[in-house]
Amino acid sequence: MSNISVAVLGAGMVGVASALALQKKGFRVTLLDRLAPGEETSYGNAGVIARSSLMPFNNPSLWANLPVLLKNQSAGFRYQARFLLQNLGWAARFVARARTPVFEETTTALDSLIRLSMNEHAQLLRASGAAHRMRDNGWMFLYRQSGAFAGGALARERMAHFGVATEVLERDHIRQLEPALNPIFERALWIKDTWSVDSPGDVVKAYAELFRKQGGQYAQARIKTVEPLAGSRWRIRADGAQDGLEADRVVVALGPWSRQFMATLGVKVPMAYERGYHMHFAPPASCNISRPVYDTAGAYVLSPMEQGLRLTSGVELTDIDAPANPVQLGLAEAAAREAIDMGQALEPAPWMGSRPTLPDSRPIIGAMPGQRNLWLAFGHQHIGFSTGPGTGAILAALMRGDDAPVDARPFRAERFLKG
């Protein structure tokens, strides 16, 4: 395969991991993005690699929660009305896939992808020299009231079904594991089958450096589109010196920007953007935590990071280029300060980014219908950092004509795209 060239568009976790997997299969790979690897969506997450991420937002409990969500006042979910009106087709398909049969198919598919990804992450963390950034002490879902804990029964049932190791904690045990937390949580679910890292952006950079050391090429360029050439090759159109780069095959792994990019090829992707924010804080040394925690009532995640204690907000459905809206992060900070002494904010303004979500909460991994040698790897919603390495392993196997390491059919592009 060393004579077959591949251009991977996008240098987040999905793109970098795909480039590494293709390189391992013997392809000659060039990775392209407008910024250095790991500086956009893959930078801003909570750094969690969790078996529990098999639960999609559009699960059967969504139906009962819709009246509250549509009020557009919750800390965990907001929407920009104009964006939602412009994407009603996506919204209808998203809600329709909260039915039990689709939900069960999705959780089965995501569980297989997450388990594969954890194995791939373990190898890449060692090979890239980034293993020191990984913690294996799980993460916690925190519940302020017992009734809220009861409301999470469906998620616990699904996790138990797939053998995810968990433990229910009472108030005293929560304090034993995380003494910095104030005693406002009646119960918690400790999800033990979880890793976390102290700088997700730096993990992506370490993987990209491994790719480079193994002979991979990286080009920083603002990608415009691709054009088909004779012989099923492609020309990549970009700003600057990389304009006109040619490759035998192209992989689109541009995360939330994949929708706009595919539109340049006349392909309409039913993708919405889930905006999220984060801010770092400097808690007193005695008030830090040893693992990520998710306050289900406050709708935030706190993660101990190299940069400080990272507070991440809920999601907002809005356009990828919409102005910042600090409401959710403000609500998250107020709730978090009830739980822990976070100290002072370390940045003057929050980071913000978008997660790309398809109607069934599964990514597309595979060939573009009707376009020879055009391959797709996008739509990972909140779990692209977790599932990038598994995505790369599936994609590389399919591109080489090998059997995929897990069932790839739930991720096929034909679910939503036509040639």
Residue 18 has φ and ψ, to the nearest 5°, of: -65, -40
User: Which residues, including other chains, have CB under 8 Å from residue 60's CB and lie 6 or more apart?
Assistant: 98, 99, 100, 103, 154
What was the pLDDT predicted at 1? 62
Give the total number of structural domains in the chain.
1
- pLDDT at position 419 is 76
| Listed residue (49, 54, 53, 7) closest to 32, CA to CA | 7
Supply the pLDDT for residue 232.
86
Would you give per-residue pLDDT tens digits along the chain (419 residues)? 678 999 999 999 999 999 999 999 999 999 999 999 999 999 999 999 999 999 999 999 999 999 999 999 989 999 999 999 999 999 999 999 999 999 999 999 999 999 999 999 999 999 999 999 999 999 999 999 989 999 999 999 999 999 999 999 999 999 999 999 999 999 999 999 999 999 999 999 999 999 999 999 999 999 999 999 988 899 999 987 678 899 999 999 999 999 999 999 999 999 999 999 999 999 998 888 999 999 999 999 999 999 999 999 999 999 999 999 989 999 999 999 999 999 999 999 999 999 999 999 999 999 999 999 999 999 999 999 999 999 999 999 999 999 999 999 999 999 999 87
| Cα dihedral 29, 409, 47, 255 in deg (nearest 10) | 60
CATH number of the domain within which 287 lies = 3.50.50.60
Q: Contact, 79 vs 294, CB < 8 A?
A: no
Q: What is the pTM of this model?
A: 0.97
Burial 141-159 (b: 16+ CB within 10 A, else e): bbbbeeebbeebeebbebb
Note down the domain range covering 171.
5-415
Q: Which two tokens stand for residue 385?
A: 């950092």
